[in-house]
């Protein structure tokens, strides 16, 4: 089989989605499946929908268009602030976009009016991540402008956490979202269908003991795809953490000295060497590198030690026996490694359902295991 490749178990993605949808439904929260790490792969998007996601979201219009071309007709939101250069494409492919700039919203409105349609707007609020967002004290004015603007409809507000600052959501920030939503509706009526409380990083809060307030939506990608909490890195109870497997082929195996023979032209590289003795060991080259994935985000098989990586190679040592040329190694990935792999044109994407995953077992795991571990 072709290598390198990424093998995707759609049954496990569907299971993860279903578990999170059911847990959050009990808290009054619906799930939007985020497909950006999968580059809008239609099979993965459909697995999220089959698991009960209320809709899909992506940060790139090319991914949204990919899903539309594949025949996906559900509600899709663009969750990165739209580019002015892509306004026409955005209005044609996504019903809703998350916004922070009035100039952009005005262009969305003009394009929607040109096509006799209405584009939905969710205003993003800055609550501490310091990436995108309207400052809370400016939100009422922004909402006022959107409500009065023909061609667009104000559908909600949202916030982002963890992505830039690394700070986890807290009850105070969520309470602020509720307060802001109440203030807007107090001035303009019940216009907010969505109060989006963040991404997978918000799960510990959402599945905790506190009240949800007005928050009724989470945008989930990493938790669905990898079954982990982005903040702690811990696995989420009842979810699969191995829906994606990177497979790389061994292209060389040689016995080589541990110590460099030549003087390194880059002093920083000598500090990165794992060992500095004169022993000889068996090293192997894998036909995958930084162009394909984030080597630091791979989990190496037992008995295989990571030595280093370049643009086209990963170098490993094997403790038990030499790796045969033409053999394959299988890796689990973190979120950064997954995004790189799914974007890499040289990595084949193979998706399938794991028939051994029985629904009754999946349902049992979903209901009986603790929410977070």
pLDDT for the residue numbered 168:
76
132-150 average pLDDT score: 96
319-330 average pLDDT score: 92
Q: Report the chain's mean pLDDT, rounded to a whole number.
A: 90
pLDDT for the residue numbered 361:
35
161-170 average pLDDT score: 79
Which of residues 7 and 162 earns the better pLDDT score? Answer: 7
How far is it, in rounded angstroms, from Cα 30 to Cα 121?
18
How far is it, in rounded angstroms, from Cα 11 to Cα 27?
25
Q: Are 231 and 208 in contact (CB under 8 A)?
A: no
pLDDT, tens only, 215-256: 999 999 999 999 999 999 999 999 999 999 999 999 999 988
How far is it, in rounded angstroms, from Cα 128 to Cα 167?
8
Q: How confident is the model at residue 345 (pLDDT cuts 50, 70, 90)?
A: very high
Q: Which of these ranges, 27-41, 163-177, 199-213, 295-309, has the smallest mean pLDDT?
A: 163-177
165-192 average pLDDT score: 88
pLDDT for the residue numbered 368:
36
Going from the C-alpha of 270 to that of each of 273, 274, 289, 361, the distances in angstroms are 6, 9, 20, 50
Asked whether the bond before 4 is cis by omega within 30 degrees of 0, the reply is: yes
pLDDT for the residue numbered 279:
63
With a pLDDT cut of 70, the percent of the chain lying above it is 88
Is the pLDDT score of 321 beyond 90?
no
**Which tokens is 167 given?**
């700070």
φ/ψ (deg, to 5) at 280: -105, 135
Is the pLDDT score of 272 beyond 90?
no
Paired with 304 in beta bridges are: 318
User: Rounded to two decimals, what is the model's pTM?
Assistant: 0.90
Q: How confident is the model at residue 367 (pLDDT cuts 50, 70, 90)?
A: very low
Q: How confident is the model at residue 164 (pLDDT cuts 50, 70, 90)?
A: confident
Domain ranges of the chain: 9-226, 244-333
Query: Buried b / exposed e across 265-280, counting CB within 10 Å, b at 16+?
Result: eeeeeeeeeeeeeeee
How far is it, in rounded angstroms, from Cα 181 to Cα 165?
24
Residue of 204, 208, 180, 206 whose CA lies nearest to 194? 180
pLDDT for the residue numbered 357:
41
Q: Is 311 left (phi over 0), alpha (psi -120 to 50) or beta?
A: alpha
pLDDT for the residue numbered 257:
80
With a pLDDT cut of 90, the percent of the chain lying above it is 78
Paired with 191 in beta bridges are: none
Highest CATH level, class, for 9-226: alpha beta
315-322 average pLDDT score: 88
């Amino acid at each position: 089989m072709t290598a390198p490749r990424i093998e995707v178990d759609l049954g496990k993605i569907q299971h993860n989605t279903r578990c999170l949808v059911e847990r959050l439904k009990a808290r009054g929260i619906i799930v939007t499946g985020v497909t950006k790490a999968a580059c809008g792969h239609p099979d993965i998007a459909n697995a999220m929908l089959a698991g009960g996601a209320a809709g899909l979201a992506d940060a790139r219009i090319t991914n949204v268009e990919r899903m539309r071309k594949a025949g996906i007709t559900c509600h899709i939101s663009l969750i990165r602030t739209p580019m002015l250069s892509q306004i026409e494409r955005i209005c044609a492919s996504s019903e809703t976009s998350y916004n922070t700039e009035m100039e952009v919203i005005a262009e969305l409105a003009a394009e929607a009016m040109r096509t006799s349609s209405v584009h939905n707007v969710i205003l993003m609020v800055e609550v501490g991540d310091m990436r995108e967002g309207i400052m809370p004290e400016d939100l009422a004015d922004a909402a006022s402008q959107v409500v009065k603007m023909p061609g667009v409809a104000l559908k909600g507000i949202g916030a982002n956490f963890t992505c830039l600052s690394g700070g986890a959501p807290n009850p105070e920030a969520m309470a602020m979202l509720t307060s802001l939503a109440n203030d807007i509706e107090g001035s303009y009526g019940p216009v907010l269908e969505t109060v989006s409380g963040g991404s997978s990083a918000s799960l510990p809060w959402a599945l905790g003991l506190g009240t949800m307030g007005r928050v009724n939506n989470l945008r989930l990608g990493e938790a669905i795809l990898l079954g982990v909490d982005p903040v702690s890195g811990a696995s989420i109870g009842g979810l699969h953490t191995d829906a994606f497997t990177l497979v790389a082929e061994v292209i060389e195996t040689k016995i080589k000295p541990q110590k460099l023979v030549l003087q390194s032209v880059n002093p920083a590289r000598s500090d990165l060497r794992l060992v500095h003795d004169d022993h000889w060991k068996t090293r192997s080259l894998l036909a995958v590198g930084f162009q394909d994935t984030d080597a630091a985000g791979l989990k190496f098989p037992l008995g295989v030690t990571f030595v280093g990586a370049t643009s086209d190679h990963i170098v490993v040592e094997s403790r038990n026996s030499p790796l045969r040329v033409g053999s394959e190694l299988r890796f689990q990935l973190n979120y950064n490694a997954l995004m790189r792999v799914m974007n890499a044109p040289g990595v084949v994407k193979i998706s399938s359902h794991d028939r051994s995953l029985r629904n009754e077992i999946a349902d049992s795991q979903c209901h009986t295991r603790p929410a977070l571990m």
